[in-house]
Amino acid sequence: MTPEEFAAETGVSRETFERFKAMDRVLTEWSARHNLIARSTMESRWSRHYLDSAQLVPLIPPAAKSIVDLGSGAGFPGLVIAAMRPDAKVTLIESTGKKAAFLQAVGAAMELANLKVIPARIESVKLPAPPDVITARALARLDKLLAYGAGIQGKNTKYYFLKGQDVEAELTEATKSWHMDVIRHQSRTSPDATILEIGNLARVRK
């Protein structure tokens, strides 16, 4: 997939597309020195990473105004969501110093006024208010992601997690500790991948 094909597939504005090109320039530059994404995926990055992240945006409610991305790494999906939802405040949490520095550099290059990067471990983060939405991609198994989210969620917080072929096993394991409502969305970028939309999360009382 080319950048132009990505723009056509997602229908982003010219201004937003320019932000993505700025992101890609910084990503390419930093990836030459740091292992931000697997080198084997660099050539396919516009479908493998950009489009994979962008497919979350139509699922996120338009009324959501605060979004937290856990373990943002190379900015997928957090930076992509921030670029496509300028009306929402997007907070990226990333504990690895070089990755947090990268996220700050990309946010500046993209001129994202709605972006905040928190360079800290998720467990230590205290937010001023619970987010409307929590996202994550390629960070941890579902039960651990839910434990991370439970520490910062509010009553109406919704979760959107990109998951691979082990999704059913992860759901089975997670339901031992958590009550939740789950909607599965088929990934647009891989037949083996699923987006989990989760609401009404609560711990199982033992």
Q: For the segment 45-103, what is each residue's pLDDT rounded down to a tens digit? A: 999 999 999 999 999 999 999 999 999 999 999 999 999 999 999 999 999 999 999 99
pLDDT class for 178, splitting at 50, 70, 90?
A: very high
All structural domains of the chain: 3-203 (3.40.50.150)
pLDDT of residue 140: 92
Reported as a pLDDT band with limits 50, 70 and 90, residue 31 is confident
Q: Which residue has the tokens 């939309």?
A: 197
* Per-residue confidence band for 129, with pLDDT thresholds at 50, 70 and 90: very high
Nearest to 175 by CA among 141, 151, 128: 141
Q: Check if the beta carbon of residue 202 is closer than 8 Å to that of residue 179.
A: yes
75: left (phi over 0), alpha (psi -120 to 50) or beta: left
Q: Which helix (H) or strand (E) holds 66?
A: strand 66-70
Distances (CA, A) of 180 to 27, 70, 105, 143, 158: 36, 19, 36, 11, 10
Confidence (pLDDT) at 183:
97
pTM: predicted TM-score of the whole model, two decimal places: 0.93
Q: Identify the burial level of 174 via C-beta atoms within 10 angstroms of its C-beta, where 0-12 means exposed, 13-18 middle and 19 or more buried.
A: buried
pLDDT at res. 104: 95
Q: 40 pLDDT exceeds 80?
A: no
* Better pLDDT: 35 or 204: 204
